[in-house]
Amino acid sequence: MKSVGYFYNINGKTIFMKKENQSIQEMALAFVNTRSQSDFAKVYHRLLPGIHSYLRELVPDYDDRNEVVATTFAKVWSKIDQYDPYWNFSTWVYRIARNEALLLFRSRRKMNSYENMAERGVNMDVISGVCYQAGSEEIDPIDHLFDMALEEIENLPETYRTVLTLREVQKKKYDEIADELGWNQNTVRTRIRKARELVRAGLAERNPEIVKKFKMNL
């Protein structure tokens, strides 16, 4: 029997992900309860494409990004006791990834000048913005809204999650998405539009006050 799922292209490597009916939160809670490698693997493969895409601008170098991804999931495994199930699991993982990117940047900064870091392809404007947010006592509302949007995308039904991740996270063009998924462009546009509606509705239901402060450009 053939497995049903989707192919993701990450840094030139194709990864096949089986279709899952569980939400990422359900997978995470299973891992919290069992601490098993099989449940961790489900969480890992579900979050891996999004984490890679999220880090692409912060850590443009391929090897550096792989290092950050590896340390991120190593900490997810080793620090799972610190996770509070009251909060969304994917947000917790994304924040670990961002902190690991900052740690890498800080360690490299000791050995490299600002100019050399820029020459390596590091987006210094993005890094500076993230450092500023990380040093603030309160979470930036825009940062919080972005985290919530990522959570909503992760918890969409498989079809909508896949197409919206390709469009909004990986920033692919409609024709590229159509080729990758084997759909026509009208189907791609229709499902992206529906996925955006689902994300907006989810955000408005969960945190209407913060959503009112910003225009939703999804």
CATH number at residue 147: 1.10.10.10
Tell me, yes or no, whether 50 and 156 share the same domain.
Answer: no
Q: Taking 70 as the threshold, does the pLDDT of residue 92 lie above it?
A: yes
Same domain (yes/no): 71, 156: no
C-alpha dist (Å) from residue 141 to 12, 121, 165, 169, 185: 34, 28, 22, 19, 34
Residue 110 has pLDDT above 60, yes or no: no
Residue with tokens 């500023």: 132
Output the pLDDT for position 138: 44
Which percentage of the chain shows pLDDT scores above 70?
Answer: 67
Query: What is the distance between the alpha carbons of residues 145 and 27, in angstroms, rounded to a whole number?
Result: 23
Is the pLDDT at 139 greater than 50? The verdict is: no
Higher pLDDT, 167 or 68: 68
pLDDT value of position 40: 94
Backbone angles phi, psi at 34, to 5 degrees: -100, -30
Average pLDDT, integer, range 194-217: 74
> What is the per-residue pLDDT across 44-74, written as a single tens digit (0 to 9) for each?
999 998 898 888 878 888 888 999 999 999 9
> How far is Cα 137 from Cα 48, in angstroms, rounded to an integer?
29
For 57-101, the DSSP string reads TT--SHHHHHHHHHHHHHHHHHTGGG--TTS-HHHHHHHHHHHHH
Domain count, the chain: 2
Range of the domain at 54: 1-133
16 three-class SS: strand
Instruction: Find, among 171, 148, 154, 152, the residue nearest to 46 by Cα.
Output: 154
CATH code: domain of residue 67: 1.10.1740.10
Note the pLDDT tens digit of each residue in 25-44. Answer: 888 999 999 999 999 999 99
Could you tell me how far CA 69 lies from the centroid of its own chain? 11
Based on the domain organization, do 113 and 212 belong to the same domain? no
Q: Are residues 1 and 75 both part of a single domain? A: yes
Nearest in space to 51 (alpha carbons), one of 93, 9, 86 = 93
pLDDT higher than 60, residue 3: no
Residue 66 Cα distances to 70, 121, 124, angstroms? 6, 15, 19
Report which of 42, 62, 43, 40 is spatially closest to residue 52, judged by C-alpha positions: 62
Please provide the average confidence, as pLDDT, over all residues in the chain: 75
Q: What is the mean pLDDT of residues 196-217?
A: 72
